[in-house]
Amino acid sequence: MNTKKFKLSNFFFTLTIIFYVANVMGILFTVILNSFGKNWFTGIIPQAYTVDWYKYAANEHDILHLLGVTFFVVIVLVVVSLLVAYPAAYVMARKEFKFKGPIMALFFLPMLIPPMTYGIPLATLLLRIRIPNLLAVILANLVPIIPFMILILTPFIEQVGEGLESAARMLGASRLTIFAKILIPLTKPGILTAGILSVVKAISAFDLTFLIAKGSSMTLVVALYSDAFAAGARPMQAIDALAVIYFGITMTCLLIALKFVNPTQMVFKIK
């Protein structure tokens, strides 16, 4: 029968996945162990352990400010995007109209074109006009996040039957009431999904923030990159300590997100 062939493809598949996962875990654990290691010159694990690197990293970066900025940017980003994206997703979900094609293209282009490609002119523009740097960072990141949210919210809104809305309107509800009392409660899972996935995406958003942020409006991931880039100036362990902090936060958000959404869906969404 086909048992022999089946075993071979089984083997190949499992091997590849294990190989890949092992490498990813290896990278992660190296970073984690290194951040706790006093010195690690040879051998599989560090010889001595310490938390000094974390204190070092915390001081070097005024970690509270860094985290504060990061969370502030992310939360404002997600809230504003939800406010802008939800009505747009509603229209895209419900109505057909003449310019739907081009508008859909307008919404999805920023997701297809990598941020580095449009980031430089965007950064140039935002830095020329005199607005607070933090505002510039938030504005820039709206570009990839709003289409992302529209993409996620649209199917959730489509699921809510139009009959409910028509019934409400016949009974005299204004559009605002319909939104507030019917649509939003019914699409709460969608809003949560969009919100959390966007938080994850925003925390790890590098390209645009890197091009724009100056000094105190850096987010965690940009600070991490700057540390790693100026490699000589800081000990590797301190960089890894900051990396672990970043990883901890991202991972927590990811785990929360996974409670709401299937991992396979996440890729289409994160892309």
Partner 1 sequence: MKIGKKIDRSLFIMLLPAIFVLLCLFIYPFIFGLYLSFTTKDGTYTLANYIRFFSDQWEYRTIWITLYISLPVTLICVGLSIPLAYYMRRGIKSERMITFFLIIPLTLGTVLVSQGMLTFLGPKGWVNQFLMFIGIVKDPIQFTHNMLGVILSVVIQNFPYSFLMLLGYISGISPDLEKASQMLGASKSQTFWKIMFPIMAPGVAITFCLNFVMAFSVYPSAVLLGQPSGPTRVIAYAAYQWAFEKYDQNMGSTISVIMGVIELIVIALVLSWRSHLQKGASIVGKG
Q: Scanning residues 239 to 258, which ones bind partner 1 (CB under 8 A)?
A: 239-240, 243, 246-247, 250-251, 254, 258
The amino acid sitting at 95 is K
- Interaction of residue 153 with partner 1, rule CB under 8 A: no
The nearer residue to partner 1, 64 or 98, going by C-beta atoms, is: 98
Structure tokens at 96: 């057909």
Q: How far apart are CA 22 and CA 29, in angstroms?
A: 10
Q: Scanning residues 10 to 29, which ones bind partner 1 (CB under 8 A)?
A: 12-13, 16-17, 20-21, 23-24, 26-28
DSSP category for residue 114: -
Which residue bears the tokens 């089984």? Answer: 10
The answer to whether the CB of 36 falls within 8 A of the CB of 50 is yes
- Interaction of residue 41 with partner 1, rule CB under 8 A: yes
Structure tokens at 71: 């969370």
Nearest distance from residue 225's CB to partner 1, in Å?
Answer: 5
Contact residues for 119 (Cβ-Cβ < 8 A; gap 6+): 140, 207, 208, 211
Nearest distance from residue 81's CB to partner 1, in Å?
Answer: 9
The nearer residue to partner 1, 124 or 159, going by C-beta atoms, is: 124
The nearer residue to partner 1, 113 or 180, going by C-beta atoms, is: 113
Residue 130's SS3 state is coil
The DSSP result for 9-38, as a single string, is HHHHHHHHHHHHHHHHHHHHHHHHHHHHEE
Nearest distance from residue 58's CB to partner 1, in Å?
Answer: 18
- Interaction of residue 166 with partner 1, rule CB under 8 A: no
The nearer residue to partner 1, 51 or 231, going by C-beta atoms, is: 231
The answer to whether the CB of 118 falls within 8 A of the CB of 110 is yes
Stretch binding partner 1 (CB under 8 A), from 48-56, 71-79, 102-110, 152-160: 102-110
Which residue bears the tokens 């310019």? Answer: 99
Alpha helices per DSSP H over 37-99: 52-61, 63-94
Q: How many CA atoms lie within 13 A of 106 on its CB side?
A: 7
Nearest distance from residue 160's CB to partner 1, in Å?
Answer: 16
The answer to whether the CB of 130 falls within 8 A of the CB of 194 is no
| Binds partner 1 (CB under 8 A): choice among 163, 172, 229, 232 | 229
- Interaction of residue 53 with partner 1, rule CB under 8 A: no
| Binds partner 1 (CB under 8 A): choice among 66, 74, 224, 238 | 224
**Size of site (CB under 8 A) for partner 1:** 84
Q: Scanning residues 112 to 151, which ones bind partner 1 (CB under 8 A)?
A: 112-125, 139-140, 142-143, 146-147, 150
- Interaction of residue 175 with partner 1, rule CB under 8 A: yes
- Interaction of residue 213 with partner 1, rule CB under 8 A: no
- Interaction of residue 101 with partner 1, rule CB under 8 A: no
Q: How far apart are CA 55 and CA 151, in angstroms?
A: 41
DSSP category for residue 261: S
